[in-house]
Amino acid sequence: MSRYLPLGFLLALLAVCFSAGAIENALSLAGNEADLGSRFLSPSSTHFLGTDELGRDVFIRLLYGGQVSLLVAIIAGLVAAFIGTTLGMAAGYAGGRWDALLMRFTDMLISLPALPLLIILSALDIGKLGLGDFANAPSASLYKIIAIISLLSWTTVARLARARTLTLKEMDFVRAARALGRTGFKIVLRHIFPNLLGTIVVATALTAGNIILVESVLSFLGLGIQPPLPSWGNMLTNAQETIWEHARLTVYPGAMIFATVLAFNFLGDRLQNRLDPKSRSRI
């Protein structure tokens, strides 16, 4: 397999998904409008993948669903990377009691049954948190899912960042900086963070893949992205309801999730090998 295939696939997917509007116009289709006269059409030259239970074009909806899934993966991935890096560096550099406390907390979070916790959190009434206006916005389910997932996904990044910080902290250039009287904050920012970047990128790629899986499960269960906003997960919910008549529809959204997550995992693997050639094939 080509070296750049995973990254190329992800970039192409990103480009195609975010030009869904233009593609929709070019094909003169209306992806989100129900057309009950043309339900469950088979694939044809107008509807590449046919139509769904409301007569909407499946191909266009897959692209819009991809927008949502990728948006969640990217934003939640970046937030998780930020939280994880900050906490990991702080714990690793401060050491001692703070380190123990933060890592205990991380361990606790990792050991919790994640999905049960997520379905409970996704049922939260954010109106009760004093976000009344925000809670009523049409895309509230998108922001809510991003917030919930980022809050539970930073642990991988945090653990790896901490481990690397522990090594870096004892290196001569860091000790030299300390001897020259640099403050802890500056040392972490100027000397430790740049050396952590590779580790963080790998961990973030793997986390992003996982986020797509989590988002799709939650949306599938009806607790994530709310229809009519399409996501690969909630498209599968509808598809499962008509599985006896039109099993074909269950294939596409799942295949998209699978391919995207696989690409993120391959990317993470590849970057890992690049950064640390000694660790051929990650376990």
> Which residues contribute to the site for another protein (CB under 8 A)?
104, 108, 110-117, 119-125, 127-129, 209, 213, 216-217, 220-223, 236, 239-240, 243-244, 247, 250-251, 253-254, 257-258, 261-262, 264-266, 269, 281, 283
Residue 180 CB, nearest approach to another protein (Å): 34
Contact 69, 87 (CB under 8 A): no
223: three-class secondary structure by DSSP: coil
22: three-class secondary structure by DSSP: helix
Q: Which residues fall within 8 angstroms of residue 143, CB to CB, at 6 or more apart?
A: 134, 137
Q: What are the phi and psi torsion angles at 57 (to 5°)?
A: -70, 125
Residue 90 or 236 having the CB closest to another protein: 236
H helix or E strand, kind and range, residue 4: none
What's the Rg (C-alpha) of the chain?
22
Torsion region of 61: left, alpha or beta (phi above 0 gives left; psi -120 to 50 gives alpha): alpha
Residue 121 CB, nearest approach to another protein (Å): 8
Residue 112 CB, nearest approach to another protein (Å): 6
Residue 56 or 270 having the CB closest to another protein: 270
Residue 236 CB, nearest approach to another protein (Å): 7
H helix or E strand, kind and range, residue 143: helix 140-153
Cα separation of 145 and 215, whole Å?
7
Residue 59 CB, nearest approach to another protein (Å): 18
Residue 262 CB, nearest approach to another protein (Å): 4
Q: State the DSSP string of 69-131.
A: HHHHHHHHHHHHHHHHHHHHHHHHHH-HHHHHHHHHHHHHHHHS-HHHHHHHHHT--GGGGT-
Residue 34 CB, nearest approach to another protein (Å): 23
Residue 12 or 243 having the CB closest to another protein: 243
Residue 46 CB, nearest approach to another protein (Å): 26
Cα separation of 273 and 99, whole Å?
29
Q: Which two tokens stand for residue 260?
A: 């995207």
